[in-house]
Chain A
Amino acid sequence: MKFRLHRYNPETDAKPFMQDVELDIDPAGKMLLDALLAIKAQDETLSLRRSCREGVCGSDAVNVNGKNRLACITPLPELKEPIEVRPLPGLPVIRDLIVDMEPFYKQYRSIKPWLVNDAPEPEVERLQSPADRALLDGAYECILCACCTTSCPSFWWNPDTFVGPAGLLQAYRFIADSRDEATAARLDNLEDPYRLYRCRGIMSCVEACPKGLNPTAAIGRIKSLLVKRRV
């Protein structure tokens, strides 16, 4: 199979370049990550992140033939050759397919991704009704792989001020949580032309999410809460 891989070693290369690689592999039943690891076995200088190899850890997000996906759950037979693999767009490249995730994590931290509840701690646990728990479906499953945020043009132009789809989905996850008491402060934190309203609803994030989540819908719900609070 033919591959085109983004290569960049800041210690030896002046500029990143695309490397053509031939790999003798039977694609049946294999994922892209298997191929990348087989290439790495031939050329150990190829650098990439991976861990769980089953779409749970979110560390092997790459841009494959123009689309952000997890290499470990992308079936090899369905990819058009040459398979072009690049690092996630919009983040600084450290080496080959590895990007600096700090701008992404910084926005994630900015929404305070933890439960805020000042009520005295109950003896056992803070209970939720099944209906309240159901509000978190579609929001808690995010694995922070950054596929969505790095496919969002608004994040490309304003990575320092726009929270991005992943961060906003997580913001909604805590706003919707019946056990969280900081809803007003969370909405205050987001009500900003840059932090929230850079989202223009083009749904690139929905298209990219390997877990099938819908950040645009969550952003819409945050907007309706802000509107309700205002009118």
Chain B
Amino acid sequence: MKSTTGSHTGTGTWLVQRATALVLAVALPGLMIHFLAALPVDFSGWQALFLPLWVRVMLLLTMTALALHAWVGMRDIFMDYVHSTGARLAMYLTVIVILAGSVAWLAVIVFGGTQGSAA
């Protein structure tokens, strides 16, 4: 089969992986310190940790960066090892659904659950 490479893509994905790696390198230790410094806490103390808006925004940003970073990584692994286009596409879609679902789920938990904590 003739080569169909040279698709003028790939730079964006590579940049996304690099940029999200930077975000994670800063945000993950930051969040970790915020939570570990407060330990040990009871349930209401734990909920209070998530009350400041910046924590919730940071958490969602970090999760989004993590999902994007994981997406590029999983895509790279599938490109290396799964050489059937159909199977690869199916696995891409599965990973996208899982990652996008996780981000959406976290958004609901940290932003949708505020009434619950107030009650």
By a beta-carbon cutoff of 8 Å, the part of chain A in contact with chain B is: 110, 154, 157-158, 160-161, 188-198, 200, 223, 226-227, 230-231
Partner of A195, one of B6, B15, B80, B81: B6
Count of A-B contacts judged by CB separation below 8 Å: 52
Q: Give the number of chain B interface residues (Cβ < 8 Å).
A: 16
Inter-chain CA distance A161–B9, complex, in Å, is 14
Whether A227 lies near B5 (C-beta < 8 A) is no
By a beta-carbon cutoff of 8 Å, the part of chain B in contact with chain A is: 3, 5-15, 76, 79-81
Using known A-B contacts A157-B81, A161-B3, A161-B5, determine if residue A191 contacts B76 with beta carbons closer than 8 Å: no
* B contacts with A: majority SS: helix
Inter-chain CA distance A230–B80, complex, in Å, is 26
Inter-chain CA distance A231–B18, complex, in Å, is 14
- 30 intermolecular pairs with C-beta atoms under 8 Å apart: A154-B80, A157-B81, A158-B80, A161-B5, A188-B6, A188-B8, A191-B6, A191-B8, A191-B9, A191-B11, A192-B6, A192-B7, A192-B9, A193-B7, A193-B9, A194-B5, A194-B79, A195-B5, A195-B6, A196-B10, A197-B10, A197-B11, A197-B13, A197-B14, A198-B76, A198-B80, A200-B76, A223-B11, A226-B11, A230-B11
Inter-chain CA distance A157–B76, complex, in Å, is 12
Instruction: Supply 18 further A-B pairs (C-beta < 8 A) apart from A192-B6, A227-B15.
Output: A110-B3, A154-B80, A157-B81, A158-B80, A160-B3, A188-B6, A188-B8, A190-B6, A191-B8, A191-B9, A192-B5, A192-B7, A192-B8, A193-B10, A195-B6, A198-B79, A200-B76, A230-B11
